[in-house]
A = this chain, B = another copy of it.
Amino acid sequence: MQQSIRADFTLPGEAGYEQLTLDLARRWGADVIRDSDGTHLSPEITSAGYRVYSTICIIRQHNEFASAHPDAQQQTFLSSDPVTAVSDTLTIHPLDGYFTEQFELNDSAEALPYWQVWDRTENTLLPRDAWSYQDGTVTISNCRPWHRYTVSFLCWRIWEEINMYNHTTNSWTSEHLRQLDPRHPLAWEYLKQWLERWCCENPETNVVRLTSLFYNFVWIFGSDVRRKSRFVDWASYDFTVSPAALHAFEAEYGYALTAEDFIHLGKLQATHRPPTRAKLDYMSFTQRFVAEKAKALVDIIHAHGKQAYVFYDDSWVGMEPYGKHFTSIGFDGLIKCVFSGFECRLCAGVDVPVHELRFHPYLFPVGLGGLPTFMDGGHSEKDAMDYWLHVRRALARKCVDRIGLGGYLHLTEGFPAFVDTITEISDQFRAIKALHTNGAPAVLPLTVGVLHVWGALRSWTLSGHFHETSNHVLIHVLEALSGLPVNVRFLSFDDVIGGGLQDVDVLLNAGQAGDAWSGGEVWQHPSLIAEITRFVYEGGHLIGIDEPSAVHGLDTCLALAHLFGVDLDNGEYACHIPFDVETVPAPFDIPESFGIRKTNVRLIQPDTDVWMAQGGIPQFTHHAFGKGHALYMSGFTYSPLNAHMFLQTLIHLTGISQTSTGTSDHPEIETAWFPADRTMIVMNDADHPICTEVTCPAGRASVELAPFELKFVTIC
């Protein structure tokens, strides 16, 4: 292991703890000191010779302006919970069930025309004269008894969501911060002037760390203590809406959006579901707006000789680092908070000069789900190592430029093991980064195409962190892929139709029926099915997991069932007797825990190899079709062992040799071979010591690794 050097590490400093700040900066090898939400840096820190990041949340530090211009606040559409009519008159209080410290009805003259009342029993929109509104109440006269009604309405968001989260999680008592909408002309002029002034007043700042831009991801709180948070979607656009945005959209696109384009049967349009055409248009529209406004802010920052880094979280919506407009903004760096390998690849893959990871745990008393972190009972050092194991293998494949932490530095005082762990992690990071400087690690000549509704726009992500999406099988696959020596591309269904399979060796579709990852109704397009059928017949390979290509209206549940040789039975096969299932040995080890999920898989082609079954139900199958092969897996759960199995799957399908990238003889030991340095990173992903042999094009070596240890093995 190399010695700590002062580089590539961003330390959260804290006024009042100057000595601690400088001590830890030294121990962790920091070259940058930053402030955080709730802390600031004293002159003693900012003048200590470190570069300085200053955190700005551009839209939320302006309560005085917001009070003077309440119509400059941000908004959203919401739907009331359905109410059943038990007579021919019904009154609905739209905000019942919502957190009234977050929302306030917008019944202004420009907002009310966007309100709608729906009969949800027959799903029909009521004509405007069928209901009236007064003083916060909607009254429906002559409604149909026993039908259910909802009101869709615009409302102001009167508490910035991250501030609200910090208040409710950490018992903050300070004033609730409001947020401004940059679409409001006065607010926009005010924000630019504010930033200009801020830059003048903070000459010690080298990097403005924007946390982040304008519109928060969707986070809707409720009034019921049993469901404080009603809805969270890290990648949805509902919080960007306003009458001004709707008018501008209509002017540009030639058609008007309605409340139902957002409310969508009361479910909203979550990122995990296939979007409507209107939602896609609205997203494009918003992305252009956000990029244009963000560029104006970055220009101000640059004019002051500072750099602009953006934190890819919180109010990131519309920024889309893999979208068309991102590079036009001109950011100097992108900072991503990470728990997982896929997040590391997400950050590393963006076209921006500097990629930085902010590690977890955040220096807060409580962490995920309200569990203690830097409190009695917390195990911050274990958390840090656990996340690092996920991130490390991804960094071995594609590195970032910097790492760092955030939060209250003084909380580390009672946790010396945490301080040691971060020392170890930051040293490992710098050593990994150094290896990448002389050339990338060897990669198999094999490209996996991950196929879903969003395609490249949402490369390496679903919606938020692993723990928020762990019930979606694709995130487990992405986590596995993030550390494997293969090329990965993300394809939309339009990409496939447009010839996108030409550079793909293994096409992957993994999701639940009807979701954005499986694809939903898009599978009703015969040309899509035909193109993938051609692809496999001519020698491409296909992996389907869970409910891949599931759709209604065809003669099979899976549109690609004829390739997989298996289909799913949701009752449609009633009275049809399945083939007897006989397993044959798989060509590689399939761990029992690979991720079995299903009880309704059935063979439809008897020449399908069943590599694993449970209770007579196929769980892992292989089917040859033409020159290609199709694998079906009923599920997949990320673990180092299962990631190893996934790699074996890819190698078996394509028939290529793994020699060029280096291998280990033990499935829990991962390797990355850097030809330029003739050096191999050897990582023990297990919590027990392992002795094994590793092999690379340059030769073979014995390695002995402590639990979780990483070693660099140079073979000359």
Set of chain B residues within 8 Å of A514, measured between Cβ atoms: 570-572
> Which B residues touch A86, using CB under 8 A?
537, 626
How long is the Cα–Cα vector from A267 to B533 in the complex, in angstroms?
Answer: 22
Identify the closest chain B residue to A563 (Cβ).
Answer: B84
Residues on B with beta carbons closer than 8 Å to the beta carbon of A574: 233, 270-273, 515
Interface residues on A, range: 35 or more
**Is A27 located at the chain interface by the 8 A CB criterion?**
no
Instruction: Tell me if A412 counts as interface (CB < 8 A to partner B).
Output: no
This chain's copy number in the assembly: 2
Q: What separation, in Å, do the CA atoms of A534 and B145 have in the docked complex?
A: 8
Contact string against B for A residues 569-582, beta-carbon threshold 8 Å, 1 for contact and 0 otherwise: 01111111111101
Tell me how far the C-beta of A606 lies from the nearest C-beta in chain B, rounded to whole angstroms: 6
Contacts A123-B554, A554-B123: A575 and B145 contacting too (C-beta < 8 A)?
no
A575 contacts B271, C-beta separation under 8 Å: yes
In angstroms, Cα B513 to Cα A580, docked, is 26
Q: Is B537 touching A146 in the complex (CB atoms < 8 A)?
A: yes
Residue of chain B at shortest CB distance from A525: B122
Residue of B nearest to A516 (CB): B574
Task: Give the residue among A272, A463, A571, A577 with the most B Cβ atoms within 10 A.
Answer: A571
Kindly report which residue of chain B lies nearest to residue A605, judged by CB atoms: B81
The distance from the CB of A617 to the nearest CB of chain B, in whole angstroms, is: 12
Q: Are B579 and A227 in contact (CB under 8 A)?
A: yes
Q: What residues on B are CB-neighbors of A606 within 8 Å?
A: 224, 226-227
Contacting B at CB under 8 A, from A127-154, are 144-148, 150
Name the interface residues of A386-414: CB closer than 8 Å to any CB of B.
none
- Known contacts A120-B554, A123-B555; A268/B531 CB under 8 A: no
The answer to whether the Cβ of A232 comes within 8 Å of any Cβ in the partner chain is: yes
Task: State how many angstroms separate the Cβ of A630 from the closest Cβ of chain B.
Answer: 12
| Cα–Cα distance between A531 and B526 once the two chains are bound (Å) | 41
User: Do B582 and A226 touch across chains, with their CB atoms under 8 A apart?
Assistant: yes
A686 to chain B, nearest CB (A): 28
Q: How far is the CA of A229 from the CA of B230 in the complex (A)?
A: 50
Known: A571-B513, A575-B272. A266 touches B531 (CB 8 A): no
* Minimum C-beta distance from A266 to chain B (A): 5
Residue of B nearest to A532 (CB): B146
Given contacts A146-B529, A150-B555, A515-B574, 4 further A-B contacts (CB under 8 A): A121-B526, A146-B531, A226-B582, A231-B576
User: Could you name 28 residue pairs across A and B whose Cβ atoms are closer than 8 Å?
Assistant: A82-B555, A84-B533, A86-B626, A120-B554, A121-B529, A121-B530, A122-B526, A123-B555, A146-B531, A147-B526, A224-B579, A227-B606, A230-B576, A230-B577, A231-B576, A265-B554, A265-B555, A266-B555, A267-B555, A267-B572, A267-B576, A270-B575, A272-B574, A272-B575, A273-B574, A463-B575, A512-B570, A513-B570
Q: Which 3 A-B pairs have the closest CB atoms?
A: A272-B574, A146-B530, A122-B526
